[in-house]
């Protein structure tokens, strides 16, 4: 079939296998170009390994430190008539690249929240990889079924206490309109914390500990976003922010769990960028288009892979980590520089549909969005008849 992008709202329902491979390769090349990361972990479990920050974590560990990796993700396989999801093709490309360099690389395609998935990961680790020295928790999920009760919880992206009206860019129609988001109920807040908070991170570490699969000095890290004034009403001080606060609670609890192996749990604060998860959050696409504009002009722009390389070299594996007073690694330092935020805040009220492409980097946003699904990569023939079928070797 001829595979073209089919964008519906904030999601692209098709993905290109060769384009996704090019995306993975670009990140591998970047990491290899940075040289070997000293003290890097050797056996790494990445939960949420197939896209965005989790994929970049896996690539950094494997190609920056020579790590064996076990990944967990939730991706749609291809059929003769439909392409797979991008994360499926990304994982296939990662497996191929890692194995061709002699690195162990296996992935489970399943629901990370389930006991079944954890049991499978433990069995694979016992059989093939042994104890882990880094666990990355990088899930971006809309719902979670509690493994004990079977109850299904859904996350919402809503403000807390009062409604919020703000300028919003529809990235599909390119219309800018004011949207009003009503405040979340207490139940919606609690459900969002259940899905995106730290409980499942704790369950993973507990399961690994019970199975004696945590190596001495094992690190674990979960990702968050804090942002600034413009995004606080919909992110930092909203339902998702509440869930992310729960990661701080979980990190403290996990640190106690890890004391026996002298391990460490941290939350890492990463910058805002285009991923499948962030494109679904109201206001964020316009904010990110402005972040890209300002940071590219400043020469401080970074993608997932640059952020992850810094997390390893300036956070996880250095004697002088960039930590804040709540023990979080701060990789959002460039985005949150007061002068950068001031420029973004000054541009924000001026943006209209007419000047969108001058005042913001929506062009860059959109190109990067399509690249997430394998579209727009040089060297890929998008007019060629391409089979969506590809064996990814999932467990
Ligand atoms: P993403 O959408 O690119 O990737 C999400 C990953 O989670 C994918 O690998 C997907 O397969 C996996 N996943 C989702 N549900 C799953 C399930 N039930 N079982 C197994 N795997 C599942 O997301 P992202 O933007 O890279 O976000 C990852 C983390 O980073 C999130 O916690 C997010 O809040 C955080 N973060 C994102 C940004 C941003 O701007 N994108 C900024 C800071 C922090």
- Give the model confidence (pLDDT) of 276-321 as tens digits: 889 989 889 999 999 999 999 999 999 999 999 999 999 999 999 9
Residue 109's pLDDT is 98
Which residue from 17, 4, 12, 3 is spatially nearest to 392, judged by alpha carbons? Answer: 17
Residue 29's pLDDT is 98
Distance 250 CA to ligand 1 centre (A): 18
* Distance separating alpha carbons of residues 240 and 20, to the nearest angstrom: 29
- For the chain, the structural domain boundaries read 7-140+156-371
- Report whether residue 41 contacts ligand 1, using a CB cutoff of 6 Å: no
Q: What is the pLDDT of residues 185-243, one digit of tens each?
A: 999 999 999 999 999 999 999 999 999 999 999 999 999 999 999 999 999 999 999 99
Q: What is the pLDDT of residues 163-200, one digit of tens each?
A: 999 999 999 899 999 999 999 999 999 999 999 999 99
Residue 139, SS3 per DSSP: coil
> What is 7-140+156-371's CATH topology?
Rossmann fold (3.40.50)
Q: What is the pLDDT of residues 17-26, one digit of tens each?
A: 999 999 999 9
313 DSSP 8-state letter:
I
Of all protein residues, the one whose alpha carbon is nearest to atom 24 of ligand 1 is: 52
Q: How confident is the model at residue 103 (pLDDT cuts 50, 70, 90)?
A: very high
Residues listed for the chain: 395
Residue 371's pLDDT is 98
Catalytic one of 30, 53, 225, 235: 235
* Distance separating alpha carbons of residues 278 and 272, to the nearest angstrom: 8
318 DSSP 8-state letter:
S
Q: How confident is the model at residue 364 (pLDDT cuts 50, 70, 90)?
A: very high
- Report whether residue 267 contacts ligand 1, using a CB cutoff of 6 Å: no
- Identify which of 139, 153, 201, 273 to mutate to test ligand 1's pocket (most ligand atoms within 8 A of the CB): 139
User: Kind of pairing, strands 264-269 and 214-224?
Assistant: parallel
Residue 393's pLDDT is 86
- Report whether residue 89 contacts ligand 1, using a CB cutoff of 6 Å: no
- Please state the separation of Cα 208 from the chain's center in Å: 22
CA–CA distance from 361 to each of 78, 230, 232, 367 (Å)? 33, 17, 21, 10
> In the chain, pLDDT over 90 holds for what percent of residues?
96
- Identify which of 15, 52, 110, 273 to mutate to test ligand 1's pocket (most ligand atoms within 8 A of the CB): 52
Judge contact between 107 and 129, C-beta under 8 A.
Answer: no
- Report whether residue 87 contacts ligand 1, using a CB cutoff of 6 Å: yes
């Amino acid at each position: 079939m001829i595979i073209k992008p089919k964008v519906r709202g904030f999601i692209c329902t098709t993905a290109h296998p060769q384009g996704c491979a090019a995306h993975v390769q670009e990140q591998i090349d970047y990491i290899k170009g940075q040289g070997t990361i000293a003290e890097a972990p050797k056996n790494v479990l990445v939960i949420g390994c197939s896209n965005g920050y989790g994929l970049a974590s896996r690539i950094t560990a494997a190609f920056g430190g020579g790590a064996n990796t076990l990944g967990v993700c939730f991706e749609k396989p291809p059929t003769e008539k439909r392409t797979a999801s991008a994360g499926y093709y990304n994982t296939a490309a990662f497996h191929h690249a890692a194995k061709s360099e002699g690195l162990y690389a296996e992935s489970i395609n399943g629901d990370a929240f389930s006991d079944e998935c954890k049991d499978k990961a433990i069995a694979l680790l016992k059989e093939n990889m042994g104890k882990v020295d880094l666990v990355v928790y990088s899930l971006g999920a809309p719902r979670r079924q509690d493994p004990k009760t079977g109850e299904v919880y859904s996350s919402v992206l809503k403000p807390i206490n009062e409604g919020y009206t703000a300028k919003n860019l529809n990235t599909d129609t390119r219309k800018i309109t004011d949207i009003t988001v009503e405040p979340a109920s207490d139940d919606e807040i609690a459900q969002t914390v259940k899905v995106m908070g730290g409980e499942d991170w704790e369950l993973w570490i507990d399961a690994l500990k019970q199975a004696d699969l945590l190596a001495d000095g094992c690190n674990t890290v979960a990702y968050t976003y804090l942002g600034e004034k413009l995004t606080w009403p919909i992110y930092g001080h909203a339902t998702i922010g509440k869930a992310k606060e729960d990661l701080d609670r979980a990190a403290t609890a996990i640190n106690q769990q890890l004391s026996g192996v002298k391990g460490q749990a941290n939350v890492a604060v990463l910058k805002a960028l285009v991923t499948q998860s962030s494109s679904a959050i109201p206001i964020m696409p316009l904010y990110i288009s402005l972040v890209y504009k300002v940071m590219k002009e400043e020469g401080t722009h970074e993608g997932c892979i640059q952020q992850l390389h810094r997390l390893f070299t300036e956070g996880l594996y250095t004697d002088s980590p960039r930590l804040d007073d709540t023990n979080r690694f701060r990789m959002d330092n460039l985005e949150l520089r007061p002068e950068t935020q001031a420029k973004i805040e000054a541009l924000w009220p001026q943006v209209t549909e007419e000047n969108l492409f001058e005042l913001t980097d929506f062009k860059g946003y959109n190109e990067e969005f399509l690249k997430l699904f394998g579209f727009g990569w040089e060297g890929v023939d998008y007019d060629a008849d391409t089979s969506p079928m590809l064996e990814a070797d999932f467990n």
